[in-house]
Structure 1
Amino acid sequence: MTARILKIVLGLLLAIVLAGAAWLCTAGKPLLLVASGSVSQGLCDAVYVSRVDPGQVFREQHAPLMRGIGWAVRWQVDRAHDEVRTSVLGGFDARAVFRPGLGCLLMHGDGAVPEAAGYTPSPIASPFPDRLVASDDPAIQRALERAFAEPDPAHPRNTKAIVVLHDGRLIAERYAPGYGPDTPIWAHSLTKSLTSALIGILVREGRLQLPQVAPVAGWQSPGDPRRAITIDQLLRMDSGLPFDETGGALNPLTRMTFLERDMAAYAAHMPLARAPGTVWGYSNLGYVLLGRMVTDAAGGSAVDAERFAQRELFAPLGMAHTVIQADADGSLIGASGSYGTARDFARFGQLYLDDGVVGGQRILPAGWVAYSHSQTLDTGYGAGFWLNIKNDTRVPVWSAPWGMPQLPKDMYYARGAFGQYVVIVPSERLVVVRMGISLDYGDDTGDLVAAVIAALRRQPRL
């Protein structure tokens, strides 16, 4: 009897091992490559772009998302070659390589690194003081303290930076240990708002037009329904491309970001889910294609595109530490590839508060700011920015709120995953930036901004 039981157990174990091996070689392979690629990319950025502790970033940003396989992940920083390598279960290797001026690049294989030398950007002077600026208003101090508090250790906020501008002045800021005014933080989908601005600059220069058909080569065949997609529809996310950021570790966004060398080519091959202009759907695919358009207009390479962004947007605004990273094909990742400081993104918000003008220089075309926060279909989205006009329904698929009902209706904002916000409140002449690594982040930013507004309204007018 014992021998028979042992035989059955061994048979079951063998079946499990064979099934596991089959899974690893088929369906499991892309999942584990996404895991190793995301860790290599994130920790390379932590070491070489943000210059923060990669171990802390792994614990806060990656390990909670790994759940059952975190124990199998191994990563190593190779400072001799400016790269980070990661494996899962001893295989499924990925590496990300730092390129000066361009940030980190996730490599697919051990081939040569494109544009490996990067470039040296011209220094950008920040308009802010070298010192940390703290508010002398106790109410604002308390609002920032609450935003950094951790009331629920099981769901940490991990707030890293808050910056408040009022009437164009920096009136308050606060940072987590290890972070400061010069620490670039992964902006996630705040990048879409930057990409929208870069498209606006090309419109101002007469090189693109909103109503024109999107210049995507793969869509130009006769009879291809994607031929009708316009630049305006890509910016507004009503192009008909599918809602690509769905639940689960494998979706069009993660496949494109961590498995594809040429992200724009992947996006261009995606079939339509709806007719253009009829339905809104959150679209990283569309913004990757917009990033490709910016890159092509700038000259075609990652260095060309970064120089264009620096010259036309970052330098005039004093965004001294911002970079939009590129994929292995040299195209700006217009959906999520940027890093910048909270101060940098406050300056970006101020540009929109000032109708696209800084220091008397028009950066965005006349009317672009109004266009950016004009409603798309029956949604709470504009063209690269979220609106605060829809409190009766929720974002499709995510079932998340469109806006922040505790704030004025004229508020609009840039939003990125893990709690990145650039909140612009024209009626209060206010910009509030909140950045962090908040995997379970709720509506706390709305409460923060509401508390700041209440404090400012109580202050005596000079």
Structure 2
Amino acid sequence: MKQLRVIHPVSVLLRNKIKRRFTFLVLAIVLILSVGLGLLLYQPLMVASGFASKEICSGTFVSGLDPNQVYADMVQPEGAIGIISRLIHVSVDREEHEVTTTIAGLYKTRAIYGEGTGCVLVYEPEDISLVTAANTASPVGLSNQQAPEIAGPAVVEPKNEQLRAALDHAFAERDQPPYIRTQAIVVVKNGEIVAERYASGIGMDTQLLGFSATKSVTNALIGILVRQGKLNVDQFAPIAAWQNEKDPRHKITIDELLRQTSGLALKQTSSGFDPASRMVFLERDMAGFAENAKLVTTPGSKWAYTDGNYILLSRIIRDTVGGRASDVRQFAQHELFSPLGMNNVTLEFDATGTPNGAASMLASARDWARFGLLYLHDGMAGKERVLPEGWVAYSSSQTLNTGYGAGFWVNLPASGNAPYGLPWGMPHVPRDAFFAMGNMGQHIVIVPSQHLVVVRLGVAHHPDGLVAGADRLVAEVIAALEHEHN
């Protein structure tokens, strides 16, 4: 006979109690892990959402491009965004001039376009006032152009087949990702355009985002204020939060901000987890966030590239010229853009009216070339001095043992690599060259010994569109022009 096991009622109760506790424990662990993961991913997902809203807004309403193309070329290939692409929803409202992005129905961000101020991420109802003020403000007055015109109204075709081949090479596309996506090239020799080309949908007046090439524009605005006697690069940075002499940040100079040697804890990895990403895409007051960063190294002792230094310089510019976005617009237009003949340009702002002088100016390829000519011509626009004497030499002088100057990259030997594993310079280009450079392959290359400026703009995610591609392009252009001369 089969023997039956007798279970005491108390044992059943105890086992059920243990089972319930175990289930509760598992649920608690799952909940804790879910909350922890949510907190861990909150910042990078908000950064991804903000990046999509802001760049699609600028591409659509400033550049006049197809928002779907902007997403495909600029947003989706960045970092891990492609992995979560199916969870991203972007809404473009052309009537209200705004873009809204969510990820899995959450992590909502919103960017609004304003005439003259471009696109700004808004976080609170009052942030919209900046855009509203921009849309109702009178147009920024234009002063007389001082720099000679660089070309006529028609696209300038290459003067010889070798130069044409150089442009062909730069516009050649890969048959699979990552793509190169060259959008515009302008070559200026002896003050005149000798070749230019634009991708489909891009024209001579299309404003294209310079990303970190904007830092070089901030260098120019600081230089103008130095020429006017309102700032000095050796002075302690006039940041209100640092005025206590016991604060170790008190002695950070404008020069150290320009040279990326401030020592502030504003690490930039573009991963979404880093402080610099948070500053740009989660904080309505970018400079307010940056000025609260702690000091991690002695100012001037170590080079560390970060948008934070240039956001602080942007706040200094804003406060020096009047304190409002409209004051910055008037100043930049009257003192820099108009004398150079830069008529298709938009400098964008954060929600507090501070310009994003680290990474957010859009201009036509011709206007980026006009900006490069200012530095080729030692800070002169025609017969008018825009930058102080010696400013170009200062800006293109090497910082520590790096390939960086003071707002420009320099073509000098340096140890290690630049950020993101890029090479420091262009080995096939003359050593006296220096350049503005931005994410995805924005380059304004100035070669004094060749009386040359070469602009390459695009949305590259392959080395052939980044520094290596710019190196090859400029070298091929120089060879083509020398061949023509011979």
Q: What is the TM-score normalised by the length of structure 2?
A: 0.89
Question: 1:345: how far off?
Answer: 0.8
Deviates more, 1:241-250 or 1:318-327: 241-250
Residue in 2 that maps onto 1:52: 65
Question: 1:399: how far off?
Answer: 3.2
SS at 2:398's partner residue? Answer: coil
In the TM superposition, 1:99-248 aligns within 5 A as 99-115=114-130, 116-118=132-134, 119=137, 120-122=139-141, 128-151=151-174, 153-242=176-265, 244-246=267-269, 248=271
Alpha-carbon separation, structure 2, partners of 1:158 and 1:15: 49
Alpha-carbon separation, structure 2, partners of 1:183 and 1:12: 59
Alpha-carbon separation, structure 1, partners of 2:196 and 2:53: 31
- Give the one of 39, 54, 73 matched to 2:88: 73
RMSD: 2.2
Alpha-carbon separation, structure 1, partners of 2:150 and 2:429: 28
Residue in 2 that maps onto 1:449: 474
Residue in 2 that maps onto 1:282: 305
Using a 3 Å threshold, how does the CA distance of structure 1 residues 199 and 112 change in structure 2: closer, same or farther?
closer
Q: Give the ranges of 4+ consecutive aligned residues of structure 1 lying more than 4 Å apart after TM superposition.
A: 10-21, 123-127
Q: Give the conservation status (yes or no) of the 8 Å contact 2:223–2:391.
A: yes
Alpha-carbon separation, structure 2, partners of 1:378 and 1:69: 39
Q: Partner amino acid for 2:474?
A: V
Q: Give the conservation status (yes or no) of the 8 Å contact 1:75–1:86.
A: yes
Using a 3 Å threshold, how does the CA distance of structure 1 residues 456 and 15 change in structure 2: closer, same or farther?
farther
Q: Does 1:271 align with 2:294?
A: yes
SS at 1:410's partner residue? Answer: coil
Spell out, residue by residue over 1:350-395, the C-alpha distance to the aligned partner (whole angstroms, 9 max, x if none). 1111000011000000110111101111211111011111155322
SS at 1:304's partner residue? Answer: helix
Residue in 2 that maps onto 1:3: none
Spell out, residue by residue over 1:414-452, the C-alpha distance to the aligned partner (whole angstroms, 9 max, x if none). 111110000000010000000101123341110000000
Q: Give the conservation status (yes or no) of the 8 Å contact 1:242–1:282.
A: no
Residue in 2 that maps onto 1:87: 102
- Give the one of 254, 258, 277 matched to 1:254: 277
For these two proteins, the number of residue pairs brought into alignment is: 452
Residue in 1 that maps onto 2:462: 440
Alpha-carbon separation, structure 2, partners of 1:83 and 1:320: 24
Deviates more, 1:320-329 or 1:383-392: 383-392
Q: Give the conservation status (yes or no) of the 8 Å contact 2:347–2:360.
A: yes
Unaligned runs of 5+ in 1: 1-9
Alpha-carbon separation, structure 1, partners of 2:483 and 2:26: 69
The percent identity for this pair of structures is: 44
Using a 3 Å threshold, how does the CA distance of structure 1 residues 374 and 11 change in structure 2: closer, same or farther?
same
Alpha-carbon separation, structure 2, partners of 1:148 and 1:308: 36
Question: 1:284: how far off?
Answer: 1.1
Question: 1:12: how far off?
Answer: 13
Spell out, residue by residue over 1:71-104, the C-alpha distance to the aligned partner (whole angstroms, 9 max, x if none). 0111111122111111111122111011111101
SS at 2:485's partner residue? Answer: coil
Residue in 1 that maps onto 2:18: none
Q: Give the conservation status (yes or no) of the 8 Å contact 2:204–2:366.
A: yes
Q: Partner amino acid for 1:64?
A: P
Unaligned runs of 5+ in 2: 1-22
Question: 1:128: how far off?
Answer: 3.4
